[in-house]
Amino acid sequence: MTDCPVGAPVGTICRAVSVFAAEERISNDGDRMSGPFVSVSLFEVVVTDTDPFFEAVEIGFGITDDADVNISPALARGSASADDVALCEEFDCPPGAPQTLSIEVDWDAFGPRQTFRSRQKFTDPFCTTKELSRGAIRDADATGVLDGVPVVEPAVPGFQATLQSDKFGSIQRCSAP
């Protein structure tokens, strides 16, 4: 999403943010953990006069589990919010770049729900592993607020927001040595 105005003149400097939000539940040998998280990448964008008509440079990245994430089971809607996400823990931010950001995003799905399934089996001399996955995905419209400034999806091909549900399981059986 971006705060770049549509039709901004060449040379305009604005921001864009990529947001990945998840409700996560993990079970490993009976141990259960659950909790949402939000991952954000912040970009400085310069409007140009040559295709694709912008240049984007990543100026921050952060992940937090101190977030509110809600995704409807039918993938009709989703929302996420996080305050003061630290951006410079994974790599050094450029001088003058924000050190944190606050984000709120709402997704409204449209179109059909597409589903997928996968089953794989791997065998080595000692173990057999079966992996099962399934999920669903829907295109969505996204709007939000980045540090108090409204942001919307850019009108650029390839930047379609989605809502997605994934389930993954793995079973491993090994023979005794």
Residue 4 amino acid letter: C
Q: Is residue 120 part of a domain?
A: yes
| Domain membership of residue 61 as a residue range | 13-172
142-176: pLDDT as tens digits: 999 999 999 988 766 667 889 888 887 888 899 87
Number of structural domains (the chain) is 1
Whether residue 57 lies inside any domain: the answer is yes
In a domain, 145, yes or no: yes
With respect to residue 5, please indicate whether it lies within any of the assigned structural domains.
no
pLDDT 10s digits, 57-103: 999 999 998 999 999 988 999 999 999 999 988 778 888 888 999 99
Contacts of 128 (CB under 8 A, 6+ apart): 121, 122, 172, 173, 174
